[in-house]
Chains A and B, each alone.
Chain A
Amino acid sequence: MNPIGNLNKIFESRIRLGVMSVLMVNEEVNFNDLKQMLEVTDGNLASHLNTLEENGYLKVHKGFIGRKTNTTYAITAAGEKAFKGHIAALEHMIKFTK
C-alpha cells in the first residue's frame, strides 16, 4: 500500500489539523474556544469548519446561551477514523524515510 495515498488532503491545512486535534481530546468545543486555541480569525475558522463538516468529519450543534447563539462542534466516527489514518500515515512516512 502506498502510504502517501493515506495522507489526507483535507488535513494539509494546519488549522483543520488543529481543529481535529482539539476535538479528538474534547467531547464538544464551541466556536470561541476553538478560535482562542488556534489563534485564528472568525472568517478563517468558519470556512475551515465548513470544509470539515462537508466531509462528514464534524457534527455541528447550534444552541443558545440565553439569547446568544452557541455553536459547538464534535468529531464524528468518520472524522476520528480519517484523522487516525492521517497520523498513522505521517508516522509511517517518517519511519521509512529515516
Chain B
Amino acid sequence: MTDQQHLEALTDIKRMMERSSRFISLSGLSGISAGICGLIGAFIANMWLNEYYFRWNTTGVHNHEDFIVLKYRLIVLGFSVLAAALIAGTFFTWRKARKNNLPIWDLTSRKVLINTAIPLAAGGAFIAGLLFNHLEGLIAPTCLVFYGLAIINASKYTLPDVRYLGICEVVLGILNLFYLNYGLYFWAIGFGLLHIIYGTLMWWKYERKGTV
C-alpha cells in the first residue's frame, strides 16, 4: 500500500464513523418553518383566549361550557400545529438529504427519532395527566421542558448545536413556571421565536453556501 492509500483509508474510516453516528441532514429551514407554524398557532390561540375572556367580562358570569369548548379547541389546535410543523420540517430535511445524496431514513435518522420520541411520549402522558387533574396552567411549561429534554437527548445523534436549543427550551419552561399567567407568551417564544432563531443560525452556519 502506498502513502496515498493509507491516507484514503484513514479518511474513509473518519467519514464512515461520522456518517453512521450522526444524522447531518437536519435543515435549518426545518427549524424556521416549525417556528412559523408555532407562531401562527400561538396567534390563533391568543385570539380565541381573548374572545373567551371578552365574553366572560361582558356577561360577568363564567360560562363553564365556554371553557370546555375553548379547551378542546386549543387541544386540537396544538395537535394541528405539531402536525404542520412536522410536515414542513420533514420536507426541508428531506430536500437537504436528497441534495446531498444521503438517505433520509437510515440508522441515524431512526436514532434521532427514537431518542426524541421517548421523552416526548413521557411529556405527552404527563400533560394528559395535567388535563385530567384540571391543571391547564401547567401545560405550557411542561411542553417546553419535555420538548427541551427530548431534543437534548436527540442532539447526540444529529447536529450537536441542537443541544443549545434544547437547553434554552428547558430554561424557558422552568421560567414559565414562575409566571404561569404568561404561558402562551412563553409557548410562542419557545416554539416560535427560538425555532426561527435556531433555524436561521443553522442555515447560516451549514447551508448558506452551495449545498442547499
Contact = CB atoms under 8 A, between A and B. Distances in A.
Bin the interface of chain A by size: 20 to 34
Contact of A37 (B12, B13, B107): B107
Interface in A1-52: 7, 11-12, 14, 17-18, 21-22, 24-26, 29, 33, 36-38
B1 A25 contact: no
Nearest to A26: B20
A29 B1 CA distance: 30
- Listed residue (A7, A26, A91) with the most chain B CB atoms within 10 angstroms of its CB: A26
Contacts of A14: 9, 12
Given A17-B12, A29-B107, A33-B106, A7 B3 contact: no
B61 interface: no
- Listed residue (A14, A25, A91) with the most chain B CB atoms within 10 angstroms of its CB: A25
Interface of A: 7, 11-12, 14, 17-18, 21-22, 24-26, 29, 33, 36-38, 87, 90-91, 93-94, 97
A3 to B, nearest CB: 10
Interface in B1-17: 1, 3, 6-7, 9-10, 12-14, 16-17
B106 A22 contact: no
Contacts of A11: 9
A12 to B, nearest CB: 7
A97 B5 CA distance: 13
Interface string B16-31: 1101110000000000
Which 6 pairs from chain A and chain B are nearest by CB?
A21-B16, A25-B21, A22-B20, A33-B107, A21-B13, A90-B6
B103 interface: yes
